[in-house]
Amino acid sequence: MGNKTLKLWLTLSAIFIISGITVGVVLYSLYRDEVLVERISAIRERMISLASIRTWVVDSETSQRGYVISGNSTFLEPLTTAREHLGAAQKTLRNQLIADASMLELNSTLERLITLHYENIKATLARAAQGNFSQAEQMVSRGQGQKIMDQIRAVIGEMETYHQQRLTAASEERRTAMLWARLATIALGGLILVLIATLAYIIDRELRHRELYQEQLNQEVERLAAELRERAEELDTLSTYLQNSIEKERAQLARDLHDEFGGVLTALKIELAWVEGKAEAYDETLTERTRQVSARVNDLIDLKRRVIENLRPSLLDNLGVEAALTWYARDVTERAGLALELDIDTLALRPASEIAIALFRIAQEAISNTLKYAQATTVRLSLKMKNNQLRLEISDNGVGIDMSARTNKRLTHGLAGMKHRALTLRGQFFIYSTPGQGTTIIAEIPYQSAVVYTPERRAQEPSSSQSSAPDRSTSSQAARETASG
């Protein structure tokens, strides 16, 4: 792991940890707020109860006072109502204070004082009922009643103060909790922004890396492809060179055989004719033997001619590729005892010698393969000119190429050589073969690919040049004539 990546992971981990803590703070603050809201509302409810108790107590006091002063019994109505409500309010407050021991104690004091208050009211009203209103009034204004009222007020005041303080504390606590929640929310927002920025940075970096990697990969692929092309071109050039060299060698050999070997054979033939003429006068056996030797020399001359023709058919240079193909196909099929179907167009223009030799060699190899492997009974050979394309097709009705047997040796020399010859001349090459249904080889070579023969080029290529053809043909003709004569 790189230093930068480690730093990023540490940053991300820190962000996640701090975010977790912040979320915890927010959740806790909200929980605290809920608790405090409940507490505040409970305190408020207690304060409401205390306020209503105070009201009912004061109402009773006022009602009693009004009755004592005026002697009017209608003033006693609020006292009755207050007593009814006060009981309920005290009960509520008792329930509300159940969990608060100190307040429960104070509430007991309050309840005791309220009981005393009502007992006192009861005594005062009893006096008033006896018609002793002035004594009753004195009891209310200066006596026990006033004292109890003061004590009740003091206790309620103390309870209210206590609750007011608790209310203030709870409100304060709530404010603090909300402040924490707010701060934590802001922090969380900030952290989310940092997280987004960090992630954006990581993604951007990753994308850049990938782009760079892709670019390097593309460059590498391009480099390898260029290298491969270069190698293929080199191989191509080498193959072309080898094929041309072979052609040159063959032509040279044909010429040497013709000129040197042919010359010797011709001289031998002349010498033998002389010996034969002389021998006739002396010895019949010698004459006979000399004739036999002469016949062997004729055989040699025939053999030499066939070898020369195989090395480089003179017809190719003299009469063109159509004649050479016709002669070769007839010659080999006749000797092998195969039927031949020929369909050869007479070309209006002669193709360049590269094309002619390529077509001839392709046909030669294809027919040779048929003889070697196909077990065929018929060979078809056609040469057509269509849309400026020379199309050579050689097919047989033999066993077909066993493609499965060829998978391990994809580039066998014969087929690869044919293909190479066609492709070098910007042509195309096809093999169609089905087991048991024969084989068809097709080479299509554009006629435009014919090389324009400049005198310089002709001079460079004695093997395939047309200038050498007449010489050889003449000599070969001479040798044949000599041999037969």
Ligand X SMILES: Nc1ncnc2c1ncn2[C@@H]1O[C@H](COP(=O)(O)OP(=O)(O)OP(=O)(O)O)[C@@H](O)[C@H]1O
Q: How far is the CB of 314 from ligand X (least distance, A)?
A: 24
- Other CB atoms closer than 10 Å to residue 181's CB: what's the count? 19
Give the DSSP per-residue string, 48-66. HHHHHHHHHHHHHHHHHHH
Specify the stretch interacting with ligand X by CB under 6 A; choose among 171-179, 219-227, 291-299, 399-407: 399-407
Binding string, residues 343-372; x marks residues near ligand X by CB under 6 A? --------------------------xx--
DSSP 426: T
Three-state SS at 342: strand
Structure tokens at 295: 């016949």
Residue 161 or 412: which CB sits closer to ligand X?
412
Q: How far is the CB of 371 from ligand X (least distance, A)?
A: 9
Number of residues binding to Mg ion, judged by CB under 5 A: 2
| Amino acid identity at 102 | S
**Distance, CA of 361 to CA of 247 (rounded, Å):** 10
Residue spans of alpha helices (H) in 370-461 = 403-406, 413-424, 455-460
Give which of ligand X, Mg ion, none residue 87 binds (C-beta under 5 to 8 Å, depending on kind): none
**Distance, CA of 406 to CA of 416 (rounded, Å):** 13
Q: How far is the CB of 335 from ligand X (least distance, A)?
A: 17
Residue 258 or 419: which CB sits closer to Mg ion?
419
Rounded to a whole number of angstroms, the distance between the first and last alpha carbons of the chain is: 95
Which of 313, 351, 398, 427 touches ligand X by CB under 6 A? Answer: 398
Binding string, residues 107-146; x marks residues near Mg ion by CB under 5 A? ----------------------------------------
Residue with nearest beta carbon to ligand X: 414
Strand partners, 195: none
**Distance, CA of 459 to CA of 415 (rounded, Å):** 31
Say if residues 449 and 425 touch (Cβ distance below 8 Å): yes
Q: How far is the CB of 403 from ligand X (least distance, A)?
A: 9
Which of 91, 142, 147, 413 touches ligand X by CB under 6 A? Answer: 413
Residue spans of alpha helices (H) in 71-143 = 77-96, 101-129, 133-141
Q: How far is the CB of 443 from ligand X (least distance, A)?
A: 14
Which of 28, 373, 432, 453 touches ligand X by CB under 6 A? Answer: 373
Specify the stretch interacting with ligand X by CB under 6 A; choose among 36-44, 51-59, 286-294, 395-403: 395-403
Residue 64 or 424: which CB sits closer to ligand X?
424
Number of residues binding to ligand X, judged by CB under 6 A: 15
Q: What angle, 0 to 180 degrees and rounded to 10, lies between the N-to-C axes of helices 3-70 and 77-96?
A: 150
- Other CB atoms closer than 10 Å to residue 129's CB: what's the count? 11
Residue 401 or 445: which CB sits closer to Mg ion?
401
Contacts of 22 by beta carbon, 8 Å cutoff, 6+ apart: 184, 187, 188, 191
Binding string, residues 421-460; x marks residues near ligand X by CB under 6 A? ------------------x---------------------
Which of 159, 374, 443, 469 touches ligand X by CB under 6 A? Answer: 374
Which of 396, 421, 463, 483 touches ligand X by CB under 6 A? Answer: 396
Specify the stretch interacting with ligand X by CB under 6 A; choose among 98-106, 329-337, 409-417, 454-462: 409-417
Distance of CA 223 to the CA centre of its chain: 22
Which of 412, 437, 460, 467 touches ligand X by CB under 6 A? Answer: 412
Three-state SS at 453: coil
**Distance, CA of 463 to CA of 253 (rounded, Å):** 10
Specify the stretch interacting with ligand X by CB under 6 A; choose among 140-148, 320-328, 333-341, 396-404: 396-404
Place of tokens 């909790």: 177
Specify the stretch interacting with Mg ion by CB under 5 A; choose among 173-181, 235-243, 277-285, 408-416: 408-416
Three-state SS at 411: coil
Strand partners, 441: 394, 431
Interface of this chain with ligand X, residues 119 to 148, rule: CB under 6 A: none
Give which of ligand X, Mg ion, none residue 439 binds (C-beta under 5 to 8 Å, depending on kind): ligand X
Strand partners, 392: 383, 443
Residue 190 or 414: which CB sits closer to Mg ion?
414
- Using CB under 5 A as the binding rule, whether residue 414 contacts Mg ion is answered as yes
**Distance, CA of 295 to CA of 477 (rounded, Å):** 19
- Strand locations in 167-264 (E): none
Specify the stretch interacting with ligand X by CB under 6 A; choose among 4-12, 176-184, 239-247, 408-416: 408-416
Residues of this chain that bind ligand X (CB under 6 A): 369-370, 373-374, 396, 398-401, 406, 412-415, 439
Contact residues toward Mg ion (CB under 5 A) are 369, 414
